[in-house]
Structures are given as C-alpha cells and as structure tokens.
Amino acid sequence: MARTSSTFVCQSCGNTTSKWSGRCEACGEWNTIVEEAPLSSGPAGKTLGAAKGRAAKLTDLSHPEAPPPRTACSIGELDRVLGGGLVPGSAILVGGDPGIGKSTLLLQAAAAFAQAGLKVIYASGEEASAQVRMRAQRLGLEQAPVKLAAETNLRDIITTLERERPALVIVDSIQTMWADNVGSAPGSVGQVRAAAHELTTFAKGRDTAVIMVGHVTKDGQIAGPRVVEHMVDTVLYFEGERGHQFRILRSVKNRFGPADEIGVFEMTGGGLSEIGNPSALFLSERGNPAPGSVVFSGIEGTRPVLVEFQALVAPSPHSQPRRTVVGWDGGRLAMILAVLEARCGIPFAGLDVYLNVAGGMKISEPAADLAVAAALLSAREDVALPPETVVFGEISLSGALRPVAQTENRLKEAQKLGFSTAILPRGGKAKGGGMTLTEMPDLAAVVGEVFGAG
Ligand code: TYD
Ligand code: MG
C-alpha cells in the first residue's frame, strides 16, 4: 500500500524531516516544525526507478547557443532588470515590503506587456477584481487588454491558465494561493512551496512566463522557504523607503541576465514612472558641500550610478559608542574604522559614528570603501571635500588601496554629471578624459594629502 504518512516541515527554512522535534536541525530555530500532508503521493506500488524519464544529448538540442527570445515592453527599467525583456516560460519572484508598490508595478507591467502583444492574466488573491479595476483606472490603464482573475485556489488558476494559455501570468501574491491537496493553512511554508512549484512547473511546460509576488518578513527575506528562490529563474526585490518617492527594482538572482541590475522608479499620483538618469536623482538633494558628504561613483549591474554617502561623527555620551549604518554593511564599516585606527592613527574611540546613503539606496560594492573612509574622515576632521569630487576604491586590511573594476565607466558618468576631480586608487591605469585624477597608493596618503590629518 502506498505510504500516506505526513512529513514535518520547518516553517522557517523549509527543511523536511520524517519526525517532529522541538528544534529544526537545519536552521536551529525552535518551535518551527509543523506537520504537513505530503506534497503529492505517487501511484501506489511504483518505485522511482520504474517511472518514465528521458535524457537528451546536449548537442541534439536546437541552437543551444541562441539567446532566449525576449519580449520587451514600454517600461525600459523593468526590461533592464529582467536582463533585456521577458523570457517565455520563465518564473520570476518579486519581493518587497507591504505597501511599497508591488501591485502597482505589476499592474503597469501587465498592461505594458499586453500592449507589447502578449496575452496577460493578472491573478489577484489580495484584491477583488473591482479593486484591481479601480487601481487600473487610477493608473489610466483601464483600456489595457489584460484579463483579471480573482482566484486563490491553485486548481482554479491552473484550470484558467490551461484554458486561456496566456503568455504571461502575474500572481499577486504567492502567499494567498492555496492548493487543496496540501493539508496546511494558506501562507504556510508547505502551501507557498506547493503553489510556487505548481506555477513554475506550469510555466516551464507551457512557455507561459509567471511573475509571482512574495511578501517579505521583518528581516527582509521573502516569506516562505528559501527553496522558492531556488525554484524560480529570477528573484527581484522592490525596495525603497516610505518617506521617499523613489523605488528600486533590484535583481538578486537572474538566470537570464546580470544579477545586481537595478531599475529606478518614482512613485507618483499616477503610478510608477521611470527614472532614466538615477545619478541625477540621487544627487538632487545635495546642497552646498558639507563635511561628511562624499559622492561615490558606483556600478549597479551594468551601469554606473552616483550616490552620496553622508557621515556624522560626534563625541559619544555612551560607554559603548554608537555605530549606525543605513544603506551599507555594518561589518564593512567596522573594518574601515579599524583600518583608519590601526594603519592611519585616526581613532574613533569615544565617538558615535552615523553613516547613511542618501536617497534610500543600498550599496554593497567594496569599491565604496574609500568613499566611506573619506566621508568618515571628512566628518571627523570637519573638512568638506571640494564640491566637484567623486571617490571610489577598495581598501584592504593593510590600508592599501586596490583598483576596482570599470574605472573608466565610473569616471565617465561622473564627468557627465559635472564632476571634475576623482580620488581613486593608484595603479588602475585610469584615463581621466577631462578629469583631474588624484591617484592614491594607500589610505594613509588620503588622510595626509586630502585631509591634512594623521
Ligand atoms: P501597492 O502597489 O498596493 O503596494 P504593495 O502591492 O507592494 O503592497 O502600493 C500601495 C501604495 O502606493 C499606497 O500607499 C498608495 C501608493 N500609490 C501611489 O502613490 N500612486 C498610485 O498611483 C498608486 C496606484 C498607489
Ligand atoms: Mg499588493
């Protein structure tokens, strides 16, 4: 007889075991293991070896070197993040905080791809069709040839898709979908995984692209098991801060394009509009040169983007001084503070340090090390850098500066935006064009020559 016993699934990491325990042995979380009915049970008596399976020669596949055909839409920033348009049969997960604008973005995307000639279905489990229609009206998209489906039962959705055979289906959100053959509640790990699995399998089999919205947890992960991120081809995060108008769509994984690509949007009364020149936007709030403010010439995905680092250094009333970072890695900040102290004789003991990336951008490139160090020095020494200066370079633990990739592109973008000077590592074989290059061997030289300290 077929085994129909349940499995036990960790609601935090998705690890599956055959027996319950108080603590997940995979991720170490307590009280996260829940009994769930198996995803689907195979035909009675069949062993795995008896199932059908087939392998094809790599060389037999038609045109393996041909790039996948893509459909571009009128939202260029979205196409860019997808790697140059939508790939048929691809599965895409879009995560983001509640209220950040995911539904708005995807309704606009649905309309744009429909106008580009694709058959699009927008399946909403969060809002009734009337609500979606109202939103479309507000966005001026009520005439777009998009079909709406307000369904949450996976079986109903798959039936609809089988009948309609769309080229793109948008599922908003994956957490509201439920499969009636899985015994756990909607939103649970088992349900999310089953729904993502069914939808991606359908996508692959029918050449239907599927975009799934996923809610994120408090610590910024897409809620549900990490396995969903592994199932899909592309994972995008829609980021931004409530107080700010701009939103960033970032690819963190993409089988069909570069990861770390960003698209920049602005939330307006009429929906999201594209920002073609993000550098100008991120620098728009910059006033007169102030101590602690440094412009970094970074690379996001395939294009250069200029952003402003702001630092504040002040005597601390606490025995344990504060280190507060927004938009940059706290561990990396600690490292730069340690290098400044150990290699350049600039102590930060007894000082509170605040570091912020203006505009709600998140920077993860090590190339920003030197810009961070310059912002910290500028704040601590109360010396503003000359106004038309950009800074970039990686700092090693020895205090040496390492040249970074795409130096030319970084300089070109800076020059385009009216910057005339760059502080950068020596040895990058940089050609400045019209810019003055201050090439530095190590951090101690920057401390002495740029800030007159040390
Ligand atoms: P929404 O797309 O519903 O967010 P999510 O699906 O990520 O939860 O966006 C909700 C916010 O966006 C809401 O606070 C209102 C704002 N908004 C605008 O500012 N302009 C618009 O045209 C629309 C449709 C929404
Ligand atoms: Mg929504």
187-to-27, 393, 437 alpha-carbon distances in Å:
20, 44, 54
What's residue 153's pLDDT?
A: 92
Say how many Å lie between the CA of residue 279 and the centre of ligand 1: 24
> Of 179, 200, 205, 206, which Cα lies nearest the Cα of 119?
206
> What residues contact 318, with CB distance under 8 A and at least 6 apart?
352
* Residue the block writes with tokens 């997808």: 82
Q: Check if 242 has its Cβ closer than 6 Å to any atom of ligand 1.
A: no
What's residue 48's pLDDT?
A: 47
| Binding-site residues | 96-103
Sequence letter at residue 362: K
List average pLDDT for each run of 10 residues in the chain, which is 454 residues long: 65 81 86 70 45 72 68 94 94 92 96 96 92 94 92 91 95 90 80 91 92 81 73 92 84 89 92 89 79 95 92 95 95 97 95 92 94 97 93 97 94 92 90 89 94 79
Residue nearest to atom 22 of ligand 1 (CA): 271
Mutate to test the pocket of ligand 1, among 100, 103, 104 (most ligand atoms within 8 A of CB): 104
Q: Which ligand is in closest contact with the Cα of 136? A: 1
d(C-alpha 177, C-alpha 125), whole Å: 7
Say how many Å lie between the CA of residue 192 and the centre of ligand 1: 24
Q: What is the ipTM of this complex?
A: 0.96
Q: Which ligand is in closest contact with the Cα of 238? A: 1
Residue nearest to atom 25 of ligand 1 (CA): 271
What's residue 119's pLDDT?
A: 96
Say how many Å lie between the CA of residue 130 and the centre of ligand 1: 16
According to DSSP, the residues that pair with 248 across neighbouring strands are 239, 264
Give the CA dihedral 217, 221, 225, 229, nearest 10 degrees. 140
d(C-alpha 111, C-alpha 121), whole Å: 10
Residue nearest to atom 16 of ligand 1 (CA): 101
Q: Which ligand is in closest contact with the Cα of 272? A: 1
Say how many Å lie between the CA of residue 280 and the centre of ligand 2: 29
d(C-alpha 279, C-alpha 275), whole Å: 10
d(C-alpha 185, C-alpha 178), whole Å: 8
Mutate to test the pocket of ligand 1, among 267, 268, 272, 273 (most ligand atoms within 8 A of CB): 267
Q: Check if 103 has its Cβ closer than 6 Å to any atom of ligand 1.
A: yes
Residue nearest to atom 8 of ligand 1 (CA): 99
Q: Check if 204 has its Cβ closer than 6 Å to any atom of ligand 1.
A: no
What's residue 429's pLDDT?
A: 80
Residue nearest to atom 2 of ligand 1 (CA): 101
Q: Check if 244 has its Cβ closer than 6 Å to any atom of ligand 1.
A: no
Q: Check if 227 has its Cβ closer than 6 Å to any atom of ligand 1.
A: no
What's residue 222's pLDDT?
A: 65
3-state secondary structure the chain: CCCCCCEEEECCCCCEECCCCCECCCCCCECCEEEECCCCCCCCCCCHHHCCCCCCCHHHCCCCCCCCCCECCCCHHHHHHHCCCECCCCEEEEEECCCCCHHHHHHHHHHHHHHCCCCEEEEECCCCHHHHHHHHHHCCCCCCCEEEECCCEHHHHHHHHHHHCCCEEEEECHHHCECCCCCCCCCCHHHHHHHHHHHHHHHHHHCCEEEEEEEECCCCCECCCCHHHHHCCEEEEEEECCCCCEEEEEEEEECCCCCCCEEEEEEECCEEEECCCHHHHHCCCCCCCCCCEEEEEEEECCEEEEEEEEEEEEECCCCCCCEEEECCCHHHHHHHHHHHHHHHCCCCCCEEEEEEEHHHCCCCCHHHHHHHHHHHHHHHHCCCCCCCEEECCEECCCCEEECCCCHHHHHHHHHHCCCCEEEEECCCCCCCCCCEEEEECEHHHHHHHHCCCC
**Structural contact between residues 294 and 380, judged by C-beta atoms closer than 8 angstroms:** no
Q: Check if 135 has its Cβ closer than 6 Å to any atom of ligand 1.
A: yes
Residue nearest to atom 23 of ligand 1 (CA): 271
What's residue 453's pLDDT?
A: 76
Say how many Å lie between the CA of residue 176 and the centre of ligand 2: 11
Q: Which ligand is in closest contact with the Cα of 104? A: 1
Q: Which ligand is in closest contact with the Cα of 127? A: 2
Nearest atom (ligand 1) to Cα of 104:
2
Q: Check if 140 has its Cβ closer than 6 Å to any atom of ligand 1.
A: no
Rounded to 5°, angle at Cα 250 from 248 and 253: 170
Residue nearest to atom 21 of ligand 1 (CA): 271
Nearest atom (ligand 1) to Cα of 97:
7
pTM of the predicted protein model: 0.81
| Binding-site residues for ATP | 96-103
> Of 418, 426, 430, 420, which Cα lies nearest the Cα of 443?
426
